[in-house]
Amino acid sequence: MNIIDGKFKTVLTYGTFDLLHYGHLEILKRASLLGNKLIVGLSTDKFNDIKGKTCVLPYQKRKELLESLDYVGKVIPENNWDQKVTDIQGNNIDIFVMGDDWEGIFDELKVFCEVIYLPRTKGISSSKLRSILDD
């Protein structure tokens, strides 16, 4: 566990995590190393419908897969775009993490916690996997 400045740090990230792959595992692992507990906000099936995303795996299965990872401390449902501030405050979040493809999008959260954008793992994405599976 990593304690910075002698304080317990809680990290929060969000995603759909469909077709869980090593890129997901890498970013989750790197996010977990920024603190002591990693909370993952997982997009629900209903929220994915609103976003126009179709998942191969249903929410409950994606949740079970994430919960099986040693470095994921807790999985919470992501039901809408606007819940991030409530989740940050309700879970005493110190660090909010997203992939660098979201760079700048969540900067308004800096008044509540530190915001970090991590580089994505090169050469892998859910979209790339879907295109391979569709062939």
β-pairing, 10-15 with 95-99? parallel
Query: Closest Cα to residue 95, out of 72, 76, 114, 119?
Result: 114
pLDDT, residue 19, reads 80
More confident residue, 38 or 54: 38
**pTM of this prediction?**
0.85
Q: Any alpha helices (H) in the chain, and if so which ranges?
A: 22-32, 45-51, 59-67, 84-90, 126-134
More confident residue, 122 or 24: 24
For 3-37, write each residue's pLDDT tens digit. Answer: 555 579 999 999 999 888 788 899 999 999 999 99
**Structure tokens of 39?**
């909370």
Give the Å distances, CA to CA, from 40 to 74, 116, 131.
6, 15, 26
End-to-end CA distance of the chain: 42
Quote the CA–CA distance of 48 and 3 in Å, as a whole number. Answer: 35
Q: Which amino acid appears at position 16 of this protein?
A: T
pLDDT, residue 10, reads 98
> How many C-beta neighbours within 10 Å does residue 59 have?
20
10-134 is classed CATH 3.90.950.20: no
SS3 2: coil
- Which are the contacts of 128, defined by CB distance < 8 A and separation ≥ 6? none
- Catalytic choice (51, 61, 110, 128): 51
For 58-110, write each residue's pLDDT tens digit. Answer: 999 999 999 999 999 999 999 999 999 999 999 999 999 999 999 999 999 99
- Check if 53 is active-site: yes
pLDDT, residue 124, reads 52
Q: Which amino acid appears at position 114 of this protein?
A: E
- Catalytic choice (46, 53, 61, 110): 53
For 33-47, write each residue's pLDDT tens digit. Answer: 999 999 999 999 999
For CA atoms 105, 110, 111, 113, the dihedral sign is positive
- Check if 128 is active-site: no
Domains of the chain by residue range: 10-134
